[in-house]
């Protein structure tokens, strides 16, 4: 099959590359010409583990190509995926202008005697497939179907998630489109994972329900952690005790400094807005947003309290800038909120992240000192804050850290270390939902 993927970001580039890997010819379209030039030159535009190998293989074998020309890509393709941004609009609802704008252009391109399948891969509110259909139909001379196929990949393990999805969700009322989608996804579910076919609205809702549930689960654990600190319990013990109940499960129960990223915050907000538009007050999501908003300031608050409200002139190291490990994505990252608070209070910030520093420089420029190596951030600092749980922060040389730092003070937003060890090593160690070590 010939496939076009419109929008070559985290989702589009990974999906396009993985479809090419199963033997299809894929053209990725993006209106950012510098991105397309880089990709054409064999350079990846995002950091995603394992993507380079698959990308290089498929570009070399000419199954994967890139263009800024939508018409050229649509003309030669049987299936067109829309992997475009759906950022929050001013009122919190998903901004559909990218998706509907491109859909309108596609309507002009599909000719008579042609049949194309248009697939919404972006996360879009319930009813969008119908809107896309209407917009395309306005100008379209040929035949087409619109399918809702929400994406569940996680940044950091996106290639693996795409090649071996837990499930694939496809919303369509067309038998013809259903067959096409079945053929496209079969290679990825050979181990027996399901492809669920359903109506478009249910598929659209499934994505929002999944992300909002995960955001709620994290938020619930963050509230438990905050309470643990007050009552002298250890949230890690609580997590293990809870998670081993088969009805609850072990995953996604880690407390920390709040969820971030390009998906959870905007998707929770958009679902809340959808509910409102349908006269439903989704109180639970309102609380989730409120609690998470506060949790992102947790680390800065703890530091401020430790320094008796006077962070002015204090040197603070920050380890971890990406919204989670194994990505360079900093959208809505808790590190942004932490650093902003520290700078506002007059602290000097020294930051390190293995992949996300270039992106963070675009926000803070020279207000923050970005260093080459993790230990470089620690020289003469009054405290270290850990915001992202990259593996390389898990077992550092604590003795060396103690020598570099002015004071042996750590605020750990990801509970990476054992409190007993930190006591023996003589650190002040303040983490989330556990007793502070002096
Ligand atoms: P992204 O910002 O990384 O990529 C979007 C791309 O679309 C950009 O490269 C941008 O230049 C391009 N673009 C914008 N307007 C265009 C136009 N008119 N024509 C061609 N290209 C255009 O976004 P993303 O993270 O890949 O997310 C895309 C969608 O997938 C969103 O709806 C998101 O919610 C959803 N999603 C994201 C993830 C994730 O982990 N990032 C996971 C599942 C679903």
Per-residue pLDDT of 292-308, as tens digits, reads: 999 999 999 999 999 99
Q: Which residues contact 241 (CB under 8 A, 6 or more apart)?
A: none
Strands, sheet with 348-352, edge to edge from the N-terminal-most edge strand = 368-370, 348-352, 315-319, 383-386, 409-412, 428-430
Q: Could you tell me if the CB of 48 is within 6 A of ligand 1?
A: no
Over residues 75-100, the pLDDT tens digits come to: 999 999 999 999 999 999 999 999 99
> Whose C-alpha lies nearest to ligand 1, atom 43?
151
Q: Could you tell me if the CB of 334 is within 6 A of ligand 1?
A: no
Q: How far is CA 196 from the centre of its chain?
A: 23
- Helices 200-231 and 128-137: angle between axes, nearest 10 degrees: 140
Pocket test for ligand 1, best of 6, 30, 34, 85 (most atoms within 8 A of CB): 85
CATH of 296-430, one of 3.40.50.720, 3.40.47.10, 1.10.150.120, 3.40.50.2020: 3.40.50.720
Long-range contacts of 129-132 (CB under 8 A, 24+ apart): 129/171, 129/200, 129/201, 129/203, 129/204, 130/200, 131/96, 131/100, 132/82, 132/99, 132/100, 132/103
Q: pLDDT grade, residue 409 (50/70/90)? A: very high
If phi over 0 gives left and psi between -120 and 50 gives alpha, with beta otherwise, what is residue 125?
Answer: beta
Q: Could you tell me if the CB of 110 is within 6 A of ligand 1?
A: no
pLDDT, average across residues 179-198: 97
Q: Which residues contact 178 (CB under 8 A, 6 or more apart)?
A: 170, 172, 197
Q: Could you tell me if the CB of 258 is within 6 A of ligand 1?
A: no
Q: Which residues are catalytic?
A: 263
Q: Could you tell me if the CB of 102 is within 6 A of ligand 1?
A: yes
Contact 430, 410 (CB under 8 A): yes
Tell me what pLDDT residue 396 has.
98
Q: pLDDT grade, residue 418 (50/70/90)? A: very high
Q: pLDDT grade, residue 121 (50/70/90)? A: very high
Tell me what pLDDT residue 98 has.
98
Closest ligand 1 atom number to CA of residue 102: 18
Over residues 17-68, the pLDDT tens digits come to: 999 999 999 999 999 999 999 999 999 999 999 999 999 999 999 999 999 9
pLDDT, average across residues 107-115: 97
Q: How far is the CA of 304 from the centre of ligand 1 (A)?
A: 37
* Average pLDDT taken over every residue of the chain: 97
Q: How far is the CA of 262 from the centre of ligand 1 (A)?
A: 10
Q: pLDDT grade, residue 6 (50/70/90)? A: very high
Contact 344, 312 (CB under 8 A): no
> Whose C-alpha lies nearest to ligand 1, atom 20?
30
Tell me what pLDDT residue 105 has.
98
Pocket test for ligand 1, best of 5, 12, 51 (most atoms within 8 A of CB): 12
Pocket test for ligand 1, best of 10, 47, 86, 157 (most atoms within 8 A of CB): 10
pLDDT, average across residues 252-268: 96
Q: Which residues contact 409 (CB under 8 A, 6 or more apart)?
A: 306, 382, 383, 384, 427, 428
Q: Could you tell me if the CB of 285 is within 6 A of ligand 1?
A: no
Radius of gyration of the chain (CA): 24
pLDDT, average across residues 274-287: 98
Helix (H) or strand (E) holding 427: none
Report the DSSP beta bridge partners of residue 170: 197
DSSP 281-307: --HHHHHHHHHHHHHTTHHHHHHHHHT
pLDDT, average across residues 322-329: 96
Q: How far is CA 137 from the centre of its chain?
A: 33
Q: How far is the CA of 185 from the centre of ligand 1 (A)?
A: 21
Q: pLDDT grade, residue 319 (50/70/90)? A: very high
In CATH terms, are 2-198 and 207-294 the same topology? no
Q: Could you tell me if the CB of 149 is within 6 A of ligand 1?
A: no
CA pair distance 129, 151, nearest whole angstrom: 15
CATH architecture designation of domain 207-294: Orthogonal Bundle (1.10)
What would the CATH number be for the domain defined by 2-198? 3.40.50.720
Residue 370 neighbours by CB distance under 10 Å: 20
E-strand ranges in 7-136 read 25-29, 64-67, 79-82, 115-120
Q: How far is the CA of 123 from the centre of ligand 1 (A)?
A: 9
Tell me what pLDDT residue 69 has.
98
CA pair distance 106, 122, nearest whole angstrom: 16
Q: How far is the CA of 9 from the centre of ligand 1 (A)?
A: 5
DSSP 109-132: HPPTT-EEEEEE-S---TTHHHHH
Q: pLDDT grade, residue 284 (50/70/90)? A: very high
Q: Give the three-state DSSP class for 54.
A: helix
Q: Which two tokens stand for residue 237?
A: 């013990």
Over residues 132-178, the pLDDT tens digits come to: 999 999 999 999 999 999 999 999 999 999 999 999 999 999 999 99
Report the DSSP beta bridge partners of residue 26: 3, 64
The percentage of residues in the chain with a pLDDT greater than 70, rounded to a whole number, is 100
CA pair distance 29, 9, nearest whole angstrom: 10
Contact 351, 385 (CB under 8 A): no
pLDDT, average across residues 349-376: 98
Q: How far is CA 54 from CA 47, 81, 143, 151, 164, in A?
A: 13, 19, 33, 19, 14
Domain layout of the chain by residue ranges: 2-198, 207-294, 296-430
Q: How far is the CA of 8 from the centre of ligand 1 (A)?
A: 7
Tell me what pLDDT residue 123 has.
98
């Amino acid at each position: 099959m010939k496939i076009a993927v419109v929008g070559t970001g985290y989702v589009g580039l990974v999906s396009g590359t993985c479809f090419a890997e199963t033997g299809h010819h894929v053209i990725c379209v993006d209106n950012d010409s510098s991105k397309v030039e880089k990709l054409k030159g064999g350079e990846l535009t995002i950091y995603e583990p394992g993507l380079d190998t698959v990308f290089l293989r498929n570009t070399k074998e000419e199954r994967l190509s890139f263009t800024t020309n939508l018409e050229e890509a649509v003309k030669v393709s049987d299936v067109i995926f829309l992997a475009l941004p759906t950022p929050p609009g001013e009122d919190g609802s998903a901004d559909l202008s990218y998706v509907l704008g491109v859909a309108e252009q596609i309507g002009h391109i599909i000719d008579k005697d042609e049949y194309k399948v248009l697939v919404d891969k972006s996360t879009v509110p319930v009813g969008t497939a119908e809107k896309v259909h209407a917009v395309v139909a306005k100008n379209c001379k040929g035949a087409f179907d619109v399918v809702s196929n929400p994406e569940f990949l996680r940044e950091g393990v996106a290639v693996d998630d795409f090649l071996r999805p837990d499930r694939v969700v496809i919303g369509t009322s067309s038998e013809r489109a259903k067959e096409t989608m079945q053929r496209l996804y079969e290679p990825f579910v050979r181990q027996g994972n399901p492809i669920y076919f359903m109506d478009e609205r249910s598929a659209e809702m499934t994505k929002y329900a999944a992300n909002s549930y995960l955001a709620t689960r994290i938020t619930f654990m963050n509230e438990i952690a905050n309470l643990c600190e007050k009552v002298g319990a250890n949230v890690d013990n609580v997590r293990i005790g809870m998670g081993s109940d088969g009805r609850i499960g072990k995953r996604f129960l880690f407390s920390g400094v709040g969820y971030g990223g390009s998906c959870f915050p905007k998707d929770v907000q958009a679902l809340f807005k959808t509910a409102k538009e349908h006269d439903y007050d989704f109180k639970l999501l309102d609380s989730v947003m409120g609690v998470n908003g506060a949790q992102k300031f947790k680390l800065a608050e703890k530091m401020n309290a430790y320094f008796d409200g006077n962070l002015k002139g204090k040197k603070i190291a920050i380890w971890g800038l990406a919204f989670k490990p194994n990505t360079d994505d900093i959208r809505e990252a808790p590190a942004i909120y932490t650093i902003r608070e520290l700078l506002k209070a007059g602290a000097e910030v020294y930051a390190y992240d293995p992949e996300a520093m270039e992106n963070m420089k675009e926000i803070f420029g020279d207000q923050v000192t970005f260093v080459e190596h993790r230990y470089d951030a620690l020289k003469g600092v009054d405290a270290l804050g850990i915001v992202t749980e990259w593996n390389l922060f898990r077992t550092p040389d604590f003795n060396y850290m103690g020598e570099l730092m002015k004071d042996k003070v750590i605020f750990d937003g990801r509970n990476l270390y054992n409190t007993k060890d930190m006591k023996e090593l003589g650190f002040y160690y303040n983490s989330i939902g556990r007793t502070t070590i002096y």
